[in-house]
Amino acid sequence: MERRRLSYDETNQRERVIAEIEVGSTRNVYDTLYLHNVGKEYHLDRRTRKCNVTDLTRPFRYRGVLPGSTFQYLFEMGAGGVPYEHALVQMFSGNSSTEHHVSLVTYPSCIPIQIQHFIGPNDYEESKHNLVFTVGFKCLILEKSNPNKASFRRQSWKEVDRSQNYMERRRLSYDETNKRERKIAEIEEGSTRSFYDVLSLHNEGKEYTLDLRTRKCNVTTLTRPFFYRGVLPGSTFQYLSEIGASGVPYESTIVAGFAGNSSTGSEHHVSIVSYPSCVPIQNQHFRGNDYEESNYYNITIGIRDPAVFIPPEECIG
C-alpha cells in the first residue's frame, strides 16, 4: 500500500503520480508522468534520480465514474446529521473485458473518492483520492467518555472479502459496550447462494445464524474474539485528510486514518473514521495474502430498536 500525489487531466489524457518516500524505508519510490496523448511515459526513481523513458501503449485509466458504468445507489458517508462530518456519495459499477470495477464519487459533482478494480479471481486494486494533512490527532473513540462509542446502526454496510472472493451488502447493528452485533445480508435477486442473519452475543458466548432462504437457524457457542469496528485497539494515528469535493457543502468531509498490527502479528489493519467524532467509514484487514474490507454507509448513532439484539423466533425454542 502506497500513498501518492496525483495530478489528473482527463481531457488531455495525462496524469502524474508521485509516490511519497517513507522515512526509514529503503524501497524504491517513483515519480511517473503519463502522457497518453503523445504516447510517452517518464519514470523517475526518486532516490537515484535516474529516469527511464518508454513508449506508452496501455489505455488511459479513468478516475471517478469509468466509461460503461451504471448507477447503483446514493448514500451518506460519515456521521449522519453531524455538520461537516458527512458527505453524499454515489456508487457506480461496471465491467470491461478484463475486470469488474466499482467507483465512489461525490453527489452531485462526481468528484472521485474511491475506485476498486477486481481483475480475475485473485487480483484486486484500490485507489482512494483525498487531501492529506500531516498533523497530530488522537481519536476520540478511544476515550471511554465518547458517547458515540457505545452503539450505532448502519442501514447499509458493504464488505469485500478477497479470501472468499465475494462482495456483500449487509445491515449492521453494533454495540461495542456490550460486545454484540447483528448482521443481516441483503438478498441479491437472481442469486442462488445463501444469505444469513447473524446475531453475535459475545458476553453470552452465543451466535445465532439464520438462513434467510430456508429460515433454518443454527445456534453455536461463540469463542472468537469480538470484532471491533472503526479504530481498532492498539492502532496509531497516521494522517488527517479531506475526501470528496473540497469546500463544497455536503460533498466533502474530514477523515482520520489509523493503522496497527494484531497482538500476534498475523494481521495488519487500517481504519478510516470521521473527524472528530470517529464514526467508522472503512476498515481494512490484511492477513498474509488475504484481504478483507468493510465500508460503512448511512450510519445512525444509537440503537433505536433494542429488540434488534433479541434472537429471531426461528432460533428460540
* Strand 123-128 with 112-119, pairing: antiparallel
Same domain, 234 and 95: no
pLDDT at position 199:
97
Question: Up-side HSE of residue 213: CA atoms within 13 Å toward CB?
Answer: 9
pTM, two decimals, is 0.73
Q: Is pLDDT above 60 for 165?
A: no
**Mean pLDDT, to the nearest integer, of 287-297?**
82
| Contact criterion met (CB below 8 Å) for 78 and 106 | no
Average pLDDT over residues 260-271: 84
Confirm whether 314 is domain-assigned.
Answer: no
Q: What is the pLDDT of residue 182?
A: 94
With bands split at pLDDT 50, 70 and 90, how would you rate the model's confidence at 139? very low
**267 falls within a domain:** yes
C-alpha 213 chain-centroid distance: 28
pLDDT on residue 221:
97
pLDDT at 292 over 50: yes
**Which among 32, 55, 78 is the end of a domain?**
55
Q: How many CB atoms lie within 10 A of CB 271?
A: 27
Burial 37-71 (b: 16+ CB within 10 A, else e): eeeebbebeeeeeeeeeeebeeeeebbbbbeebee
Residue 261 and residue 179 share a domain: yes
pLDDT value, residue 5: 84
Question: According to the model, what pLDDT value does residue 52 have?
Answer: 96
315 within domain boundaries: no
Same domain, yes or no: 153 and 281: yes
Q: 183 with 284, same domain?
A: yes
Same domain, 84 and 44: no
The dihedral region occupied by 234, where left means phi > 0, alpha psi between -120 and 50, and beta the remainder, is left
* 219, pLDDT greater than 50: yes
What value does the mean pLDDT of the chain take?
82
Cell of residue 37, nine digits: 496523448
Q: Mark whether 183 and 303 lie in a shared domain.
A: yes
Q: What is the per-residue pLDDT for 141?
A: 31
pLDDT 10s digits, 50-65? 999 999 998 998 888 9
The CA distances from residue 288 to 123, 162, 269, in Å, are 14, 12, 12
In a domain, 282, yes or no: yes
Mean pLDDT of 243-266: 85
Q: Does residue 316 lie in a domain region?
A: no
Percent of the chain, pLDDT > 90?
A: 39
pLDDT range class, residue 123, cuts 50, 70, 90: low
Regarding whether 148 and 111 lie in a shared domain, the answer is: no
Query: Are residue 178 and residue 276 in the same domain, yes or no?
Result: yes
pLDDT at 255: 92
Same domain, 302 and 212: yes
pLDDT at 102 over 60: yes
Q: Which pLDDT band, with edges at 50, 70 and 90, does 167 fall under?
A: low
pLDDT tier at 130 (50, 70, 90 boundaries)? low
Closest C-alpha among 100, 113, 59 to residue 246: 113
Please compute the mean of the pLDDT values over residues 168-192 and round it to a whole number: 84
Residues 150 and 121 in one domain: no
Q: What single DSSP character describes residue 228?
A: -
pLDDT level of residue 157 (50, 70, 90 thresholds): very low
pLDDT value, residue 9: 92
Q: Is residue 170 part of a domain?
A: yes
Please give the Cα distance from 206 to 301 (Å, whole number): 25
Has residue 268 got a pLDDT over 80?
Answer: yes
Mean pLDDT of the 120-125 span: 64
**How many domains is the chain partitioned into structurally?**
3
Range of the domain at 47: 4-55
- Is residue 215 pLDDT above 80, yes or no? yes
Q: Is the pLDDT of residue 42 over 70?
A: yes
Residues 166 and 122 in one domain: no
